[in-house]
Structure 1
Amino acid sequence: MRSPPAPPPPLFPHPPDWARDAADRLAAKHGTFAGIEDRAGPLPWPVREAGFPGLLRAICAQLVSNEAAFAIWRRVSALPGATTPEGFLALAPERVGIEGGLTRQKVRHARALAEAILSGALRLDGLAAMEDEAAIAHLCEIKGIGRWTAEVHLVFSLQRPDVFPSGDLALQAAAQHLMGLDARPDAKAMAAIARDWAPHRSVAARLLWHHWLHHTKRATLDPA
């Protein structure tokens, strides 16, 4: 008797054990997170490459929808050499703009990032030894890397457990929806709310993104 075909692999891997434990703790302790995975399915765990590729992808995602960010990233990463600092700088800025779909400002920011890595001004190898706020501050020294971009890099590329991008509009909207707030909290209010979710704020952010993508029926499970 033929065995049934194996199910297709998940779009993203399952969360690591530490994150799975954190998600369960959040759901048990805070009503905001209870039932998210029952409604939206198991929490996906997208991980991005650390260093230049991950930061470049975060730059692609600045101030655009997640669908647009994913489409732009596919175009940019398909350019020859674009995911290394040396290769990106070797590409004509006009080509990156036309074929990659990046704005002129984002091209300038990505080139500044590549130059900072090659010059040693951005110490990527030193990020692992830095506390979260120190790592965010170091990344933000580079033109075009703001707090949201740095925090997203720490969440998705470095897999830090307690970083919350409070300025993210989708996280604010998800919190408003789940908590029944009258208005969407701004970054300061969102950060204050998220303090209660420490030391699991990165997982809290992933759960909120997961809820919002399901609630809004977005085409991608990649939140940022």
Structure 2
Amino acid sequence: MTEFILTESEIRRRLDLLAEDCPHVAAAVKLVGYPAERRGTQGFQTFMQVIVGQQLSVKAAATIRGRVEALVGDPANPDSYDKVTDEQLRGAGLSWQKISYARSLVETVRDGTLDVDALPHMSDDDAIAAITAVKGLGVWSAHMYLMFSLGRPDIWPVGDLAVRVGAGRIVGHAERPTEKEALTIGERWKPHRSAIALLAWHYYSNAPAIGD
């Protein structure tokens, strides 16, 4: 499986298909419109950017990522991290824990434990298992990579707060669903849940809150 499926036209097609049977989706699209395509790059550098950006604002993550990548020189090459010390990475803004994660990522990619070139050819479950085997990369990180770098069409990232809030509001829940509740809600939208996740983010940001 190598084709990037989650294109703008496919997002619209899948949401239209769901809207035929789900009035909640139809109403959500009518209210906020279609979400945009979001396509990221593949490979080691993307995973390193995920680690650097964890638990940071978008602005802070971009600043530290820029410092780290300038420091190593060739951020797409794991070997570039051998040229810098932990103290230099700390000076660039990485916490000691993230430095540990970064070193682990370098080694797992270099020794083939995480074969980034093989990920596009794996099933969703196998790719998630491979990614989460790396220290510092959890299920949320795996879901983001599968959606935005690989374009997989049926990823349901219930670990994302905004997805849960948006999806809950789409179906009329006043309270934020738990992860378990969100999993149950998402069952009705298989095998198009990536498009719904994009709609949930879009809805979360643009729709008035229930009761407004």
Q: Which residue is equivalent to 2:184?
A: 192
Contact 2:52 2:64 in 1 (8 A): yes
Which of 163, 171, 187 pairs up with 1:171? Answer: 163
Structure 1 partner of 2:205: 213
Q: Which amino acid aligns with 1:159?
A: G
Partner of 1:88: 81
User: Could you tell me which residue of structure 2 aligns to residue 154 of structure 1?
Assistant: 146
Q: Give the aligned partner of residue 3 of structure 2.
A: none
Query: CA contact under 8 A between 1:58 and 1:152: conserved in structure 2?
Result: no
Task: State the alpha-carbon separation in 2 of the partners of residues 16 and 133 from structure 1.
Answer: 24
CA displacement 1:107-142 (0-9 Å, x = unmatched)? 221221121111111122222222111110111111
Change (3 A) 1:139 1:184: same
Which stretch shifts more, 89-98 or 179-188?
89-98
Change (3 A) 1:77 1:161: farther
Amino acid of the structure 2 residue aligned with 1:98 = G
Query: Helix, strand or coil for the counterpart of 1:81?
Result: coil
Structure 2 counterpart of 1:136, one-letter code: I
Task: Measure the CA separation in 1 of the matches of 2:26 and 2:88.
Answer: 47
Moved more, 75-84 or 142-151: 75-84
Matching residue of 1:112: 104
Count residues with an aligned counterpart.
202
194-203 or 170-179, which moves further after superposition?
170-179
- How far does the alpha carbon of each residue in 1:152-210 deviate from its partner, in whole angstroms, 9 at most, with x for none? 11011011111111111111121233333242112222122112111111111111112
**What are the ranges of 5 or more consecutive residues in structure 1 without an aligned counterpart?**
1-13, 217-224
1:33 match: secondary structure: helix
Checking the alignment, whether the CA contact within 8 Å between 2:14 and 2:195 is kept in structure 1 is: yes
Residues 10-48 of structure 1: CA distance to partner in whole angstroms, max 9, x if unpaired? xxxx93433331122233433333354555454222211
AA paired with 1:60?
A: V
TM-score (normalizing by structure 1): 0.77
- 5+ residue gaps, structure 2: 1-5
Paired amino acid for 1:59: I
SS at match of 2:24: coil
- Name whichever of 74-83 and 129-138 sits farther off: 74-83
Aligned-pair identity (%): 34
Q: Distance in 2 between matches of 1:112 and 1:169?
A: 27
Q: Which of residues 105, 117, 120 in structure 2 aligns to 1:128?
A: 120
Contact 1:171–1:205, Cα closer than 8 Å, also in 2: yes
What is the aligned counterpart of 2:25 among 6, 18, 33?
Answer: 33
- Structure 2 letter corresponding to 1:88: Y
Letter in 2 for 1:97: R
Give the distance between the partners of 2:52 and 2:18, measured in 1 at CA. 31
1 CA distance for matches of 2:64 and 2:204? Answer: 21
TM-score normalised over the length of structure 2: 0.81
SS at match of 2:23: coil
The residue number in structure 2 matching 1:201 is: 193
